[in-house]
Amino acid sequence: MGGKQSHGFSNKELSEVSVSQGGRRSTSSDQTSLSSAAERIRRHATVHFGYSTLSLAMRGLDDAPAELWELRELQKLNLSMNCLCSLPPALSAMDNLVVLNLWGNNLSSLPPEIGLLKKLRVLFACRNRLSEVPEELGSCTCLEVLSLANNQISSLPGSLATMRNLTKLNLSHNRIAHIPTCVYSMKGLVFLHLACNRLETIADQIQDLVNLKILIVEGNSIHTLPKTLCFLESLELLNVDFNELQSVPVEMYLLIRLRRLACHPLDKGLHIIHNPLLKPIHEVLQGGLSSLYNYLKQIPGPPRIPQSLLHHRAFFRHTNRFKVSLAVNKQLQTANTRAMPNARVSVIRS
């Protein structure tokens, strides 16, 4: 990220930028020095693809220069591959930031003031030591790309549900046991990376991510896939490698954009190797994805009642010709109880 760096901007020069006031009250001379120090940093900013950009990557910084936060015009800031342990509240002054790269530092937290960066569209905070994410990040509603990979995160705050513009979310290599509820509200997600966490299940709400094209959950402990996953008509890459799957949903053939079994990590299709798949699924897969789909289509499912009839109890009360299984009766009871909680539900017996 960032434009071409100036060769004359040495680490020694950067370390000399900060001005120590020794506990004295600021004088006009001090203020001039501070402005001069900020100006020295500003001279190394570039305009890259129309964005004011500054890269301080790989500078060995333990702290960012205090004067850096005066550069309010910056739109892209790269602080990656340093030794930063924290960011000051003064970060909020850079309210024109569009891209902030914090990759590869030692950050244990993000300041709440990050929520004041209203124009932020891309945030890389991967490969740090984050164990939580501030609720205030949910105020960054313009975010389109968020990477929190390779941290120690186990959950996300519910406030992130407001991120309706988010298209790419990377939460891989963390400590997540359940997909955070707020993720299912991110309707614009196209890419969701949850590899190498502690997942055992995927909730039915996954069907709410109607624009999802890439879902990566390899390296977890997932035992079953919900059938609602098969309603994601835009899904082009599904990676469930290295899990505990013994079977797949019968409805998987509905994922018509998954056109082949894939091996290379970047290949579109279904990635399903290294799972304890039972017979005959394991054998059927040897013939490719089309063989699996053809097999699944032949499996008879339980009788289904049209959704339009679920609430019409009179239809079931006055006919003996429509019989349903026990499983469907339970479905009917549940639907009627919710629709008419004070009414008595009649169950059709086979």
Q: Residue 101 pLDDT > 50, yes or no? A: yes
Q: Check whether the bond before 303 is cis (ω within 30° of 0).
A: no
Q: Residue 83 pLDDT > 60, yes or no? A: yes
Average pLDDT, the chain: 83
Pairing of strands 237-239, 269-271: parallel
Q: How far apart are CA 284 and CA 347, in angstroms?
A: 39
For 174, the token pair is 């963390």
- Give the per-residue pLDDT at 329: 47
Q: Residue 198 pLDDT > 70, yes or no? A: yes
- Give the per-residue pLDDT at 239: 98
Pairing of strands 99-101, 122-124: parallel
Q: Which residues, other chains included, contact 223 with Cβ-Cβ below 8 Å and sequence gap of 6+? A: 200, 201, 243, 244, 245, 246
Among the listed residues 188, 238, 192, the one whose alpha carbon sits nearest the alpha carbon of residue 210: 188
Question: Quick one: average pLDDT of 281-291?
Answer: 92
Pairing of strands 51-55, 46-48: antiparallel
Q: What is the pLDDT of residues 6-56, one digit of tens each?
A: 444 555 566 555 433 333 333 333 333 446 878 888 888 999 899 999 999
Q: How far apart are CA 79 and CA 97, in angstroms?
A: 13
Question: Quick one: average pLDDT of 118-142?
Answer: 98
Stretch (H or E) spanning 290: helix 289-297
E strands, 20-79, in order? 46-48, 51-55, 76-78
Count of residues in the chain: 350
Q: How far apart are CA 21 and CA 28, in angstroms?
A: 12
pTM over 0.95: no
At position 249, the amino acid (one-letter code) is: P
Q: Report DSSP state, residue 62.
A: S
In angstroms, the Cα distances linking 255 to 61, 158, 292, 315, 318 are: 48, 30, 12, 34, 39
In angstroms, the Cα distances linking 84 to 80, 192, 282 are: 9, 27, 48
Among the listed residues 213, 102, 84, the one whose alpha carbon sits nearest the alpha carbon of residue 150: 102
